[in-house]
Amino acid sequence: MEKFTVHTGVGVPLRRSNVDTDQIIPAEYLKRVTRHGYEDALFSAWRKDPDFVLNQPRYSLASVLVAGPDFGTGSSREHAVWALQDYGFKVVLSSRFADIFRGNAGKGGLVAAQVEESVIERLWEVLESHPGAEITVDLVECRVKSERIDEPFVIDEYVRWRLLEGLDDIGISLKHEVAIEDFEARRPEYLPTTA
Amino acid sequence: MAKTLAEKVWESHVVARAEGEPDLLYIDLHLVHEVTSPQAFDGLRAANRKVRRPDLTMATEDHNVPTMDIDKPIADPISRTQVETLRRNCAEFEVPLFSLGNVEQGIVHVVGPQLGLTQPGMTVVCGDSHTSTHGAFGALAFGIGTSEVEHVLATQTLPLKPFKTMAVTVNGKLPDGVTAKDLILAVIAQIGTGGGQGYVLEYRGEAIEALSMEARMTICNMSIEAGARAGMIAPDETTFEFLKGRERAPSGQAWDEAVAAWRELATDDDATFDAEVIVDASSLSPFVTWGTNPGQGLPLSASVPDPQDFDNDADRTAAQRAIEYMGLTAGMPLRDITVDTVFLGSCTNGRIEDLRAAAQVLEGRKVADGVTMLVVPGSVRVRLEAEAEGLDQIFTQAGAQWRQAGCSMCLAMNPDKLTPGERSASTSNRNFEGRQGPGGRTHLVSPQVAAATAVTGHLSAPADLVNA
Ligand code: SF4
């Protein structure tokens, strides 16, 4: 996984709460068996509307999504993270994330940074009054910056460390091979198997 | 120290623990399906890794399979590729698979419990958010993403931060005609779609203890719609009764040992939860959703709300948007909402008890003109059991379609979809925009309400039919 330290990019205001995973990527696109190529799928229903914010040319280079509360509710589909990344997003800012989405984002290297709702409001104002404005997301200092804004964000400390180091989770767990074997030797006999 | 049920299961699965790091938890059962697994198997191949415990892993085909003509090749080439990819992956990595046509095939969350694979005190994961269903047995069961699927395949463990705990105490008795689905929809409306975030919910209290295993699964299934990672119910005699004699349940001396261990799982009397919600079951009535998230629900006797009545901006805007999308008007009685389609099925309400309840309402009645009703059993076993009881006859004589097992119109990945603007009463769990097909409109209901609605053509409870 690529290391993430500081990212600066165009922000896009998504003035919606409860952006669920079916909106981020409809089930139709989940039939694919690949890990990439989901840029067309992102918000595909909303993108049919020419006025939808992502269709406005001034946000065309956006890489920081600024969304309302409860972003990523719904299904466990990791495709939601992939679609955001394939489209070009490196960061999503929200005042609240759904748990599974947040976990998936961390695994995939998408920064899901939680800020106060008032900060989201101020960012929306900046992005709407100055379309194309950039936002800097500093994972080293855990701060989000834009015009006259310099605020902290919250991200799980362990996820932050992994993103900063660009580490792969499976590799980390496999270092515990001996502990896993010990645990397996202690499991009760009555537990079921599928084989 | 006194512990809750969730904490007990967690503690008994810690493989490694270190300051500042997530706990490494052992996973007892990993369920796999075609949609969220291909990229995980690819990852294994790329890293030259094996599935550590194929004997603790089970796959089934459910999300993307047709519910008609299953003896023919899957018509949609992209769906077919996905299903064939699962078959190839399972063969290569030696994972047991229940393919279309196998008697054990069905929705992953129906199949696990039915085989007796889901047992109290276990950790159960699946690349599907409704894995919370299995919590009905007192298992810690939660949905994971594809990277985590790969992680569990490779290591049989997951690094996890402990969840917070919330008690959902349901006192009193559910009135006649009020079901587990009504109860959970009311709970979600009360705590909101984000209210359970970060928590494992433990449902308890008199009303929960009185529920069957099927009904408990309906409740735990929808925990995720309140934002929770998992829902759990302490195992009791009802649980043991359900499990006894199932194919994968222990037997003989192992059974006695298991039951003794399971009895220890209940939350200690002096354990504390991080939060508690109290619900009075006796005050509930049939509950339906009017909006586009599962928290936007009301008693069937209510009317579509006026967005102005919500006390914060976000809820107001969300309500406004939902009412527009759903093609409703504020103040309209929910009972006046007419539907085009009724969907009975899904991992929420596709079990035998759900089909029985709906059949009882439909017996001797007809699906209204202009209404299509799809009955999709949660698994092949459920289908066979229903046929043995003659339920399929009741459904087809009423004019409903009797289909093969799968997820079907719950998420509309297969050909079972709503068309734009089409409206359904659905026993599934999600009413998101376009969930049942692009532009489709979904009202979440119980199986009983679904059946009554099919008869009248507008949202109705069985009690409305008495004089009809
Ligand atoms: S029935 Fe619906 S909610 Fe359940 S597993 Fe299938 S798609 Fe998911």
For residue B128 and ligand 1, the question of a CB distance below 6 A is answered with yes
Mean pLDDT of A166-177: 88
On chain A, the residues whose CB falls within 8 A of the CB of B156 are 180, 184
pLDDT class of A36 with cuts at 50, 70, 90: confident
Whether B434 has its CB under 8 Å from any CB of chain A: the answer is yes
Which of B32, B63, B344, B436 has the most ligand 1 atoms within 8 A of CB, as the residue to mutate?
Answer: B63
For B43-95, the pLDDT digits (tens) are: 999 889 999 999 999 999 999 999 999 888 899 998 999 999 999 999 999 99
Q: Indicate the residue of A22, A100, A187 with minimum beta-carbon distance to B434.
A: A22
Q: Which among B34, B35, B109 is the best mutation to test ligand 1's pocket, defined by most ligand atoms within 8 Å of the CB? A: B109
Name the H helices within B312-463. 313-326, 346-349, 352-362, 380-388, 391-398, 447-456
Percent of chain A with pLDDT over 70: 100
Contact B157 A22 (CB under 8 A): no
B125, pLDDT greater than 80: yes
| Span B294-298, average pLDDT | 97
What's the A94 CA to ligand 1 centre distance in angstroms?
Answer: 27
Calculate mean pLDDT across residues B164-190.
97
Among the partner residues A74, A100, A176, nearest to B15 by beta-carbon distance: A176
Best of B34, B160, B224, B248 to disrupt the A interface by mutation (most A CBs within 10 Å)? B224
Using alpha carbons, list the distances in angstroms from residue B127 to A106, B142, B395. 16, 9, 33
B334 reaches A (C-beta below 8 A): no
- Using the predicted structure, report yes or no on whether residue A83 has a pLDDT greater than 90: yes
- Residue of chain A whose alpha carbon sits nearest to that of B432: A22
pLDDT attached to residue B20:
85
Mutate to test the interface with A, among B146, B149, B409 (most CBs of A within 10 A): B146
What are residue A93's DSSP bridge partners?
Answer: A66, A113
Write the residue in B54, B85, B116 that is nearest to A192 by C-beta. Answer: B116
B12 to chain A, any CB pair closer than 8 A? The answer is no
Give dist(CA A5, CA A19) in Å, integer: 27
Question: For chain A, what is the mean pLDDT?
Answer: 94
| pLDDT band at residue B333 under the 50/70/90 scheme | very high
A159 Cα–ligand 1 center, Å: 29
Question: Which backbone phi and psi does B171 adopt, to 5 degrees?
Answer: -85, 160
Kindly report, residue by residue over B245-287, the tens digit of the pLDDT. Answer: 999 999 999 999 999 999 999 999 999 999 999 999 999 999 9
**Is the per-residue pLDDT at B467 higher than 70?**
no
Span B107-116, mean pLDDT? 98
Instruction: Say what the pTM is.
Output: 0.91
Q: Which atom of ligand 1 is nearest to the CA of B108?
A: 5
pLDDT for residue B468: 52
Distance of CA A150 to the CA centre of its chain: 21
Mean pLDDT of B216-229: 96
Q: What separation in angstroms does the CA of B292 have from each of A41, A103, B146, B264, B346?
A: 20, 24, 26, 41, 18
Q: Which residues of B touch A98 (CB under 8 A)?
A: 194, 197, 227
Cα B10 to ligand 1 centre (Å): 26
Nearest to B230 by CA among B159, B136, B348: B136
Q: Chain B closest CA to A7's CA: distance in Å? A: 24
Please state which of the ranges B211-225, B292-306, B454-468 shows the lowest mean pLDDT: B454-468
Contact B145 A187 (CB under 8 A): no
pLDDT band at B380 (very low <50, low <70, confident <90, very high): very high
CA distance B192 to B190: 6
- pLDDT recorded at residue A35: 85
Q: Kindly report the backbone phi and psi dihedral angles of residue A165, in degrees, each rounded to the nearest multiple of 5, phi listed first.
A: -90, -15
- CA angle (B179 as vertex; B124, B288 as ends), nearest 5: 95
CB of B399 within 8 Å of a chain A CB? The answer is no
Nearest ligand 1 atom to the CA of B346 is: 1
B56 near A CB under 8 A:
yes
- What is the rounded distance in angstroms from the CA atom of residue B464 to the CA atom of residue B254? 49
Give A127-168 pLDDT, tens digit per residue: 999 999 999 999 999 999 999 999 999 999 989 999 999 888
Which atom of ligand 1 is found nearest the CA of B411? 7
As a whole number, mean pLDDT of residues B301-319 equals 93
Q: pLDDT at residue B223 above 80?
A: yes
Determine the distance in angstroms separating the CA of B430 from the nearest CA of chain A, rounded to an integer.
Answer: 8
Predicted pLDDT of residue B466 = 77
- Cβ contact (<8 Å) for A74 and B38? no
What pLDDT was estimated at residue A31? 87
Kindly give the distance from the C-alpha atom of residue B348 to the centroid of ligand 1, in angstroms, as a whole number.
Answer: 8
Q: Note the pLDDT of residue B256.
A: 98
**Mean pLDDT to the nearest integer, B210-218:** 98
Tens-place pLDDT, residues B399-436: 999 999 999 999 999 999 999 999 999 999 999 999 99
Mention every residue, 6+ apart, whose C-beta is less than 8 A from residue B403. B67, B68, B345, B374, B375, B376, B377, B416
Q: Is the pLDDT of residue B233 over 80?
A: yes
Q: How far is the CA of A1 from the centre of ligand 1 (A)?
A: 31
Distance B313 CA to ligand 1 centre (A): 32
Interface of B with A in 15-34 (CB under 8 A): 15-16, 20-22, 24, 26, 28-29
- Is B129 touching A (CB cutoff 8 A)? yes
Nearest in space to B134 (alpha carbons), one of B109, B156, B162: B109
Do A194 and B56 lie within an 8 Å CB cutoff? yes
Cα(B152)–Cα(B174) distance, integer angstroms: 39
- Specify the 3-state DSSP secondary structure of B78: helix
**So what's the pLDDT on residue B46?**
84
